[in-house]
Amino acid sequence: MNDKNIARGNALIAEYRNKIGDVCLNYCDGKCCNHGNIVCENLKVLNIMTNNNSKKYIADGTVTHMQGSFHNFNFEKHTCLNFMKDGKCKIYNNVDKPKSCNQYPIYLRYRTIFISSFCPAQQTKFFDPMILELEDLGFKVVIQ
Ligand code: SF4
Ligand code: SF4
C-alpha cells in the first residue's frame, strides 16, 4: 500500500469518527460509555477517569491492571463516571481523556482496521461506505 492510500485511509477514519457524533447523541444514548470498557493508558488518565479514586476501583475489581501502565476500566457495575444524563462526556475536551475514547469504535493497527460490533452505528451499517473504500485502498477490515 502506498503513502497516498494510507493517508486517505486515515482521513476517512477521522471523517467517520467525526460524523458518528450525531448517531451517538440521537440514536444510541452512549452504549459504549454505559456498558463497555475503556483502556486507560497511564496513571494520569486513570486518575481522571476514576476521579482520583483509582485505588478504590482497583480494589473492587472495576479497574484491572493490563500491562505496563495500561489499565482496563470496566463499566459493568456502573456507567463511566464522566457520562452525563444528557448523553455527553464530562471530559470531552480534556486532552488527557483516554485515547480509546477518541478512537472508539474504529481502531487502526498497522494496516488492519478493527470496528466494534458492539456499536449500534456498526450494527446499522453506518460504516459500510467507509469499509468499502478502505478495502479498495488495500486495508483489511475486521468487525469484532
Ligand atoms: S456505542 Fe457507538 S454509536 Fe453508541 S455512543 Fe458509542 S460510538 Fe456512539
Ligand atoms: S470518558 Fe467520556 S467518552 Fe470516555 S467512556 Fe467516559 S463518558 Fe464515554
Q: What is the pLDDT of residues 98-117, one digit of tens each?
A: 988 989 999 988 889 999 99
The domain locations on the chain are 1-20+105-144, 30-96
Which residue shows C-alpha cell 455527553? 88
The finding on whether 50 has its CB within 6 A of some atom of ligand 2 is no
Q: What pLDDT score was predicted for residue 16? A: 96
29 falls in which pLDDT band (50, 70, 90)? confident
Among 82, 95, 99, 116, residue to substitute to test ligand 2 (most atoms within 8 Å of Cβ): 82
What is the mean predicted confidence (pLDDT) over 58-62? 93
Among 29, 89, 95, 119, residue to substitute to test ligand 2 (most atoms within 8 Å of Cβ): 89
CATH topology of domain 1-20+105-144: Alpha-Beta Plaits (3.30.70)
Least confident of 44-53, 55-64, 72-81, 115-124: 72-81
